[in-house]
Amino acid sequence: LVIGLGVGQPVRIVQRTRSIGADMPVLILTEPESREPLERTLRYAPFIGYDVRPWASDALEALPEALTKAVDRALKRRHFNGSLAQAQRSLSRLPASPPQITHFVERLLDRAPIGVLNVDVHGTILSLNRYACRVLSIGEREAIGARFTRFLPQSEHRRLSHVIGGCVAPIRQQAPEVFEILSEAGVARHVEIIASSLMDRTGQLGSTLIIQDVTDRVLAERRRQSAEEALRASERRYRELVETMNEGLALTDADYRITFVNQTFCDMFGVESGAVVGRPLHSLVHPQDEAMLRSRMAARDDCPPSRFETAWVRGDGQVLHTLTSPRHFLDDHGSFTGCLGVFTDITERKRVEQGERQRLLELAHFSRVTTIGQMSSQIAHELSQPLSAINALSSALVKLFEANATSVEETRGTLHEISEQAKRAREIVIRLRDFVRRAEIQFTAIDLNETIRTVLRLASVESRHRGMTVELDLAEDLPEVRADRILMEQVLLNLVRNAVDAMEPLPPAQRRLQLSSAAHGHDAIRVTVTDSGPGLPDELIAQIFKPFFTTKNEGMGMGLAITLSVIQAHDGTLEATRGPGGGAMFQFTLPTAPRAEPS
């Protein structure tokens, strides 16, 4: 009989079963933590008998073997009991042949697959069958008259006396007990003993001990308990490791609902474990990153594990930034079953990066203002031309009006020219205003070729003033890059003005400035600025990007350092080499902007 986990009163079921079949083996399935309490209950409950065992639900793999052994024991007992009953019936039919009856019973006991010993109240062996001799590893002559405690460790003597005393003066039905037996060969074995009362012809009380070798069962149980303890120890070590990690951990199911979080996660997110278990993971994410996180969740089967930055909302409303590392779990069929998220707190790093970015913006703004200040004379000259033209045209038009010597067509043409010159002056002012304005970094998709042309318009004043030739070699149909437009203009203007300054010692006819753009691999664009100046000595190439290093008499040494910082903030690279014609060549590379998915 196997009693399942859903039965609410298994002990009563066993007691009722015993009233029908007293020798039926019973296994009660139970939760692992309830096995020992149930075992104690069965040990002392009335009308239970023997061969009733609780079986933990985490050891179901061994259940078929245990059932088979239980059935084998029951069959052997039934066979033995049937043989005894048959012997008793034979004895009742043969009252005139006592010697033959005794011989028949002795043969039956010797052939029984269970050990049978008769002992007196002190535990002295009165008789035993052949199976008992084999279990005790002793001969019959040597065993008779010996104390049964001889075969037990000292720690078991008191318990055996209690078992024998309990069946001599029975208060309740005896339950089977397991004892350790020390044989003459020194090999420890385990036997299950069932004691019943015995009375000889003189009325002296004793006990009949039915013993069965259960060494294999006991050893298997010990191995199971040892494995369970090792598993519990491993689980404790794993839990201690998980709980003391510096990273937050969160387990989710296939629907990304949280099933477990460690203490670091709770401290990091400012929540209690019970408040987040069962919630969708995306319910904690910051609104700015919710679309990104949902996209990654939707692409769980095609998205390889990677580390990415995510913003979250803590329990107190503060923003938390983490480096998130997901690990997907798949079953044997390759289906997604859940995810382990590892969260590293980078809020402080983001704060430092924000501070550095702000300082970079301040330095870049200062550098732009300084650059415009250095170009003030050229800018004034550039503005004076349209303003002078406007002044001259308007004065001439006034005189013509006063002399009443102008026509409508001539007046319209003059006003149109004044408007064009005003637009020219306005464009110069707007370009200067946009260039020197102070703002946060705004990453947008920009066209680098258009940015190069805008910078050349800003620098055209100085290039014309110094009489140099500007050559453009811009590749067509280049993808856009994700960058801040103002900072990219500053990078290009810094490189252009450095090239212009480097060519100052040369005659105007030899001053050539080249700007080119081209694809660099599949996901980057490279921009090159080359001049025809004296070039860079090898010993200076490694130093020119250091702050406050300069080769100019009036330079601050911050232009190229700021340029490098801006390029690195855009995940790009900047390098300086000698040009093919002997001048200096600066090249920077920027990653292209990701293509927008078609809607």
Q: 401: part of which helix (H) or strand (E)?
A: helix 376-402
DSSP string, 427-439: HHHHHHHHHH---
User: How far is residue 156 from each of residues 142, 149, 217, 286, measured CA to CA in Å?
Assistant: 22, 8, 19, 67
390: pLDDT confidence band, cut at 50, 70 and 90?
confident
Q: How far is Cα 117 from Cα 144, in angstroms, rounded to an integer?
A: 10
Tokens 């025809």 correspond to what residue?
A: 532
- Listed in sequence order, the residues at least 6 apart from 455 whose beta carbon sits closer than 8 Å to its beta carbon are 489, 492, 493, 496
Report d(CA 552, CA 501) in Å as an integer. 9
Task: Using the predicted structure, report yes or no on whether residue 588 has a pLDDT greater than 90.
Answer: yes
Q: Which of 543, 457, 450, 536 shows the shortest CA–CA distance to 496?
A: 457
- Position 297 scores a pLDDT of 83
CA distance 180 to 190: 5
Pairing verdict, β 26-30 and 2-3: parallel
Strands 308-313 and 319-330: antiparallel
Closest CA to 212 of 258, 181, 250: 181
Residues 98-130: pLDDT tens digits?
Answer: 455 445 555 666 666 788 888 888 888 877 888
pTM: 0.40
* Segment 288-308, tens digit of pLDDT: 888 888 888 887 665 556 788
Sheet with 125-128: strands ordered across? 125-128, 115-120, 205-213, 188-199, 177-182
**Cα 186 to chain centroid, rounded:** 53
| Span 511-530, pLDDT tens digits | 888 999 999 988 899 999 99
Q: How many CB atoms lie within 10 A of CB 95?
A: 8
CA-to-CA distance for 513 and 357, rounded, in angstroms? 31
Angle (CA) 373 375 380, round 5°: 100
Beta bridge partners of 469: 512
Q: Find out whether 496 and 455 touch, Cβ atoms under 8 Å.
A: yes
pLDDT score recorded for residue 432: 58
